[in-house]
Amino acid sequence: MFAAALHDSLLPLETQALLMQHYERSGRFAKAEDALFAMLEAEPGNAGLVDFGVTFYERLQDQSDACLAAGNLPRPELEAGLAELLGQKNKLKPQPSWRLTWPTNRQRRGGASICIARVCA
């Protein structure tokens, strides 16, 4: 309900990443993909976000077809999304960008749920 109320609002990148993480962990893969593309639209040409998206799709490749379908992201759509991001990645030049990573267990104990850092790629 809360997420629906924010549907048309622009959320900070970190908040969108946390929302994406929530959707992925709860098996709502299509919603996670929507959050990913919202971040990509907010930061077009961001090589770090493209890499983050590629990693997201690679994680989902390990899911069964039934699990993907239950999350409203059938395997053909997953493969199409991955191909799209790989195509973008090949066109981008390395540049300073945002790097988003899932936290390690040590970082989780410290309260961090996602790590976002400005780095030179």
Residue of 72, 75, 117, 115 whose CA lies nearest to 96 = 117
Least Cα distance to 39 among 58, 56, 62 occurs for 56
What distance in Å separates the CA atoms of residue 108 and residue 78, rounded to the nearest whole number? Answer: 28
**Do 115 and 107 form a contact (C-beta atoms < 8 A)?**
yes
In degrees and rounded to multiples of 5, residue 119 shows phi and psi of -140, 165
Tell me what pLDDT residue 56 has. 95
Residue 110 host element (H or E): none
Low-confidence ranges of the chain (pLDDT < 70): 1-9, 93-121
Question: What confidence score (pLDDT) does residue 11 get?
Answer: 83
For the chain, what are the domain ranges? 12-93
Query: What CATH topology corresponds to 12-93?
Result: 1.25.40
* Helices first, then strands: H and E counts in the chain: 7, 2
Residue 9's alpha-carbon distances to 5, 15, 16, 105, in angstroms, are 8, 12, 11, 31
